[in-house]
Amino acid sequence: MSLEVIYDEDSVKARLKLIGKLDTDTAPELAPIIQDIGAAPPAVLVMDLEDLNYISSAGLRCVFQLKKLLKPHGGQLVISHPSPQVKKVFDIVKAVPVQSVFSSTAELDAYLDKMQRSVGQDD
Amino acid sequence: MNGFRSLATRLAFYTLTPLVLLMLVASWMDNRASRKTMISMAETAAMNLSDSVREELQGILRSTRTGIEAFSMPLARLPEANTATVVPLLQEALARFPLIFGSTLAFDPATDGPEAPYLYRQDGQIVTTSLAGDDYRYWEWPWYRRPLEEGAPVWSAPYFDEGGGDVSMVTFSVPMVAGGRQAVLTADIRLGFLSEILASNLLGHEGVVFVFDDQGLLVSHPVESWVLDRDLGRLAKSLNIPSLAEVSPTVARGEDLWLRPESGIDERIVGGLADRPGRLYIRPLNEAGWGIAVYFSDQDFLSDINVATRNRLLFGLGIMLLLAAIMVTASYRSLQPLGALAARTRQIAQGDFSAETPGLDRKDEIGRLSRAFHQMQVHLEHYIDDLTRETAARERIEGELSTAKQIQASLVPMTAPDFGELPLDLSALLRPARAVGGDLYNYRMLDDSRLFFVIGDVSDKGVPAALFMAQANALLVAAAHHQDDPGDILNTVNEALCEDNEFCMFVTLMVGLLDTRDGSLLLANAAHDPPLGLDAHGQARWLDVGGGPPVGIDDTAKYQSQRYRLDPDDTLVLYTDGVTEALSPDDELFGDERLRAALAGHAPGNAQAVQDRLVTAVDHFCDGAPAADDLTLLVLRYTGDGGDRQAGPGVEAARCEGTLSTPVTTSAHHAVFDRVQAALDQAGNTTLDPGDVRLVVEEVLTNIVKYAGLGPDGRVDVAWSADENSLQVTFEDRGVAFDPLADRELTGNEDHSEGGMGLVLLQSLTDEREYTRLDGVNRLRLVFGST
């Protein structure tokens, strides 16, 4: 079992889809992509974890790294569709704020719309 | 002043003793020197004296001789010599020479018959008599015969002139021819004049001067009876100085000599009065072979010196005494404040600070000492005041603490409970580490059959913990009145304690409710240590009662009861960390394993026996080390028949076990998990989430890889045991000691290390965890699900 990474680069709303397992063995595979994202941080990074069926603390570290990279630029990290196993782990370590974890596309879209509106108002 | 121990006396003694000694030595030496000088002076004086006496005597004799010889001329020119013509001339001679006592011109009896007119002095008159009486027979006397025989003037030996002048005398006889008649002219000289000369020439107060003739016969001596009676030979015997007898020849040779034997010469023996030794000087006096002896007593001269020495000594000693008196007085007066200080010290030692310190205004060392002493006294007084106050305060606090201890003891049921016919046996113990503590236990029957019980441990120790404990205890008892579900009771108490809990005190609690009718047991846990269950055979198992956080922190926390069931003769042991965290003298923890070992394997007799066994084990382990924490035990034994209970989950399911030794690498968890997953499948276990198991296995192995410090050859031994509801996995490694369960701050935030997160996951996803380190082996036992 291994990890497959799909990254849709976008300056506003980028999407990082992880498939398989993110553990001690596979976490290093994510390192180059994290570096890329750090070079050009998007406003919103959606982590699609629908097909990620396993995450360990090594994987959590990657998530924290991404979160940290986005923060200085006001970027947002959103978790989309975590599998039950992954969600459980997220809950235990309180890795991300509860409101940035979305179990369906509809929820995520509504949240993103709302966020974009508030950004627009600020403009 | 305490005699010689007094500083003043000693000062005087040490100063004056050498001075006195010095003075004595100086006086002695001075005395010796003076004596020598004095004796030498006395000897010179003796020699001078004898010289002068000699001169005087010789002068007298010479003038007498000259005079007589001169008078012989007119006698010789007399045309006719007879008594009538001779007497006037003799009379004139006597008148002219007062020293001549008597004189005669004795004619040769062979020519005209004896004729010898003799003139002598008597009572100031010159008396004329004749020596020609038949009874005297003058021609036979030496004074007559010797000049004629020798044809020259002759001095006679001294003699006593019996019938003549009746005095001792010497006679100077000159042979002559007067008026054609052979005759002898004589001049008698009384020896008495010698005495007069000698008496006026004494040496010292008691000296003796005497004269002796060529035969040694005493010619002149202060003791008149000795004159012409004693001689030197006799004196030599009485003086025991044989040499004295040999003096005459020496004198005859014209030599002088000293007689000064060691022991001296007793003055009385030479005719003196004193009885002290002296010395004798002898020298020739005249050509007739006479000698003069001068005696003087040493003492006569030395007494003055001795008196002088004595006076000087007395004077010196007087000065010393005066000096001593001055020194003692001065020292005493200077040092007197020291005595007063000593007395003050004794007073202060007895607690009396009132008296004044003497000598504060003095400018000298004593004054400095006094001022320092005074300062010390003031400080000491303040210090003792403070100490008294502090002691009183502490005693009050201790008294209050003692009362508080009694009150706290009365808060928990202390007497052995009496459950009557109920199948219950209970024993409890609360042993605070200090006067009061934060542990608590309590129990009470809620009705005829149900027993409510609780054990707890308040954070912190001492008075704050005791206050919180009292509050918690009161709330628990109150809650138990209205509610009978342990979880509900905990919720109620938690809400009450969370209110205004500004100091964030909290208490871990284990609340239970036992129904004695069927042994059913409800337990609710607020982060308290798991109770240990013992069955009738002493088989031990931990009751891992899930629950919530400690009471008093989180008012949103919810507690739920868990249901258990006690078999007949099952025993439940509840305890606080005073047991598991009891420290040995080597700072080792008692721990769960020892607790379990102390009780497992022994068929419990009764609750008291179980309690005693555990307390003995803990005390033995501590070996006298002071208890760091309160120790509380609650032992509950159910002796009922279990009622109509059904066979519970105690029935054992098939267990699937296995072990694997794997190298320490990051990917080792795949192999381990695959094997464990296989065991779970085999055991028919569907209750556990394999994802949880996989995650925990990975985290544990990752941890070992990272922290155990094992090289590439390092290995981890993994053992597992699965049944249909649970899984136990044990990891063993020989790396550095690392307790992944140690109480670290485990909150999930992004600053947390990967390891930290792993541990949070480990804690959350397992139901039972235990870490032990034995013989260099880290052993981590994890349980998923309930056994």
pLDDT digits (tens, 9 = 90+) for B146-193: 888 888 888 887 777 766 556 778 888 888 888 788 889 988 887 777
pLDDT digits (tens, 9 = 90+) for B225-237: 787 788 887 877 7
Reported in sequence order, the residue ranges of B159-213 that DSSP labels E, i.e. its strands, are: 159-160, 168-178, 181-190, 208-212
Asked if A94 has any chain B CB less than 8 Å from its own CB, the reply is yes
The C-alpha of A123 sits at a distance from chain B's nearest C-alpha, in angstroms, of: 31
| Residue A11: its H or E element | none
Q: Name the CA dihedral angle for B199, B200, B202, B206, rounded to a multiple of 10 degrees.
A: 60
Residue span(s) of chain B under CATH 3.30.565.10 come to 656-784
Q: Please judge whether B691 and A25 are an interchain contact, meaning their C-beta atoms are less than 8 angstroms apart.
A: no
Residue B416 DSSP label: P
Q: Which of A49, A77, A93, A100 to mutate to test the interface with B (most CBs of B within 10 A)?
A: A93
Nearest CA in chain A to B703: A57
- CATH class of the domain at B656-784: alpha beta
Reported in sequence order, the residue ranges of B315-468 that DSSP labels E, i.e. its strands, are: 424-431, 439-445, 450-458
Question: Tokens in use for B73?
Answer: 């001329």
> Which amino acid does the sequence have at B441?
Y
Nearest CA in chain A to B748: A93
The C-alpha of A77 sits at a distance from chain B's nearest C-alpha, in angstroms, of: 13
CA gap B621, B615 in Å, rounded = 10
Q: Which residues of B touch A97 (CB under 8 A)?
A: none
Asked if A31 has any chain B CB less than 8 Å from its own CB, the reply is no
> Which amino acid does the sequence have at B282?
I
The confidence score (pLDDT) of residue B632 equals 93
The C-alpha of B390 sits at a distance from chain A's nearest C-alpha, in angstroms, of: 53
- B274 confidence band (pLDDT: 50, 70, 90): low
Mean pLDDT value across chain B: 83
The confidence score (pLDDT) of residue B653 equals 41
Residue B413 DSSP label: -
- B649 confidence band (pLDDT: 50, 70, 90): very low
> Which amino acid does the sequence have at B706?
K
Q: Please judge whether B764 and A67 are an interchain contact, meaning their C-beta atoms are less than 8 angstroms apart.
A: no
Question: Tokens in use for B71?
Answer: 């008078």
Look at the domain B12-188 and name its fold.
Beta-Lactamase (3.30.450)
Asked if B757 has any chain A CB less than 8 Å from its own CB, the reply is yes
Alpha-helical (H) ranges within B483-606 are 486-498, 577-580, 591-599
Q: Which of A57, A63, A69 to mutate to test the interface with B (most CBs of B within 10 A)?
A: A57
- Reduced to 3 states (helix: H, G, I; strand: E, B; else coil), residue B530 is coil
Q: Which residues of A touch B698 (CB under 8 A)?
A: 23-24, 56
Q: In what order do the strands lie in the sheet with B570-575?
A: B424-431, B631-638, B570-575, B532-534, B540-542
The number of beta carbons lying within 10 Å of the beta carbon of residue B297 is: 28
Tally the C-alpha atoms within 13 A of residue B180's C-alpha that lie toward its C-beta: 4
Residue span(s) of chain B under CATH 3.30.450.20 come to 12-188, 193-300
The confidence score (pLDDT) of residue B46 equals 84
pLDDT digits (tens, 9 = 90+) for A27-37: 888 888 888 88
| Residue B729: its H or E element | strand B727-733
Count of the separate structural domains present in chain A: 1
Q: Please judge whether A93 and B667 are an interchain contact, meaning their C-beta atoms are less than 8 angstroms apart.
A: no
Those of residues 160-199 in B touching chain A at CB distance below 8 A are none
The C-alpha of B766 sits at a distance from chain A's nearest C-alpha, in angstroms, of: 12
Q: Please judge whether B748 and A92 are an interchain contact, meaning their C-beta atoms are less than 8 angstroms apart.
A: yes
Question: Tokens in use for B245?
Answer: 């007898």
> Which amino acid does the sequence have at B520?
S
CA gap B138, B118 in Å, rounded = 11
Those of residues 459-488 in B touching chain A at CB distance below 8 A are none
The C-alpha of B719 sits at a distance from chain A's nearest C-alpha, in angstroms, of: 22
Percent of chain B with pLDDT over 70: 93
The confidence score (pLDDT) of residue B746 equals 47
The total number of residues written for chain A in this structure: 123
Nearest CA in chain A to B747: A93
Those of residues 732-751 in B touching chain A at CB distance below 8 A are 747-750
CA gap B492, B474 in Å, rounded = 12
Question: Tokens in use for A67?
Answer: 């979160």
**Burial zone of A118 (CB within 10 Å; 0-12 exposed, 13-18 middle, 19+ buried):** exposed
Cα distances (Å, whole numbers) of residue B360 to B372, B411, B591? 9, 62, 68
Look at the domain B424-638 and name its fold.
Phosphatase 2c; domain 1 (3.60.40)
Question: Tokens in use for A94?
Answer: 């309180």
Instruction: Give yes or no for residue B643 having a pLDDT over 80.
Output: no
Look at the domain B193-300 and name its fold.
Beta-Lactamase (3.30.450)
Domain range holding A78? 3-122
Those of residues 488-507 in B touching chain A at CB distance below 8 A are none
Question: Tokens in use for B125?
Answer: 């008159």
The confidence score (pLDDT) of residue B265 equals 77
Of the candidates B218, B211, B267, B263, the residue with the CA atom closest to the CA atom of residue B49: B211
The C-alpha of B702 sits at a distance from chain A's nearest C-alpha, in angstroms, of: 8
Residue A13, beta-bridge partner list: A44
Q: Which residues of B touch A92 (CB under 8 A)?
A: 748, 760-761, 764-765
Instruction: Give yes or no for residue B780 having a pLDDT over 50.
Output: yes
CATH at A28? 3.30.750.24
The C-alpha of A54 sits at a distance from chain B's nearest C-alpha, in angstroms, of: 7
